[in-house]
Amino acid sequence: MHDDIERILLSKEEIKTKVKELADRITEDYEDSDSLVVVCILKGASVFFADLIRKINRQVQLDFMSISSYGDSRSSSGVVQIRKDLDINIYGKDVLIVEDIMDSGQTLAYLCEMLAARDPSSLKICALLDKPERRIADIQPDYCGFQIPDEFVVGYGLDFAEKYRNLEYIGVLKPELYSD
C-alpha cells in the first residue's frame, strides 16, 4: 500500500470481479444493438474504460471526451468545460458514457443534456463508483460498480493533483494531504 493511502477501500480483485459483472450486463443489454458507442470520460475513467471494453462481448465503437468542472479544486465549480468533444457522430446510435465516479452529478447531468441534443438512439451511464449522498443533480447511473461513502478516493484512474492514478486498487487518501 502507498504511504499516502489511509486504507484500501476496493481491492484489485474486487474491482476486476465487478468490471466483469458490469461488462456481462452491458453485453446482454445491448445484444440487439449494432451501433454501441462507448464514451470514456478522460482522464479518470481511462483505466476502468480499458478494462471494461475488453470484457464487453460485442462490437463497439470507442470515443473519448474530456470535461471538467473541478479545475484544480476538490469540489465541482458547477461550470462545465468541454476540453475534448466526441469525434463520432452519435445520431441514432446507442451511447454508453463510462465515468470513474458520480459525485454531485452536475457534470454528468450537463453532459447528458448536451449529448441527448445530438439525438442518439439511447444514452446511458456506467460509473465505477457512486457517492449518492453527495448528489445534487437528479441523475443516477444505469450501471454502477460500487456505492461508496463520502471519502476522498484515489487509484485505478482516480487522482488527486494528477497523482495516484496508477494504483491497482482504490484507496482512501489521508486527509492531511488534501485538507486546507
Catalytic center residues: 103
Instruction: Give the three-class secondary structure for 79.
Output: coil
DSSP structural state of residue 73 = S
**How much of the chain is in helix, strand and coil states, percent to nearest 5?**
25, 30, 45
At position 106, the amino acid (one-letter code) is Q
Q: How far apart are CA 27 and CA 23, in angstroms?
A: 6
**CB-based contact 37:93 (threshold 8 Å):** yes
Instruction: Give the three-class secondary structure for 111.
Output: helix
Q: How far apart are CA 45 and CA 51, in angstroms?
A: 10
CB proximity list for 28: less than 8 A, separation 6 or greater: none
